[in-house]
Amino acid sequence: MSMIEKLFALSIDANTLGLPRVQANDSTWASIVGGFFIFTGAWALLYIVIGAVRYAGSAGDQGLITKAKDTILYAVIGLVVSMLAFTGVQFVLGRF
């Protein structure tokens, strides 16, 4: 039986495909989710720095200042949403 046939078979399990078994417990899921939120927080902080550099280099041009302020504002909003989502996920994982 080819690999394609195995993938579309009705009874698929990890042993027939030769896949390793991974025991995912609560700490594994918490680590994965925590890593994701650390990545999104770092991404938002990067955009705050980019906005600050754009603001500093705008040389008084109102259009560039507005774009820089918008970049900073949206990055802060993204950071707040990410922190709230992290808190909500940790609450849910803690309950179950």
Question: pLDDT averaged over the chain?
Answer: 83
71, part of any domain: yes
Q: How many domains does the chain have?
A: 1
Work out the average pLDDT over 59-76: 95
Kindly state whether residue 61 falls inside one of the protein's structural domains: yes
Residue 13 inside a domain? The answer is: no
pTM check: above 0.85: no
Does a structural domain hold residue 6? no
Residue 9 falls within a domain, yes or no? Answer: no
**Who's near 82: CB < 8 A, 6+ residues apart?**
37, 40, 41, 44
Q: What is the pLDDT of residues 22-48, one digit of tens each?
A: 777 777 877 888 889 889 989 999 999
Range of 83's domain?
A: 46-96
Is 28 domain-assigned? no
Q: Please indicate, yes or no, if residue 39 is contained in any of the structural domains.
A: no
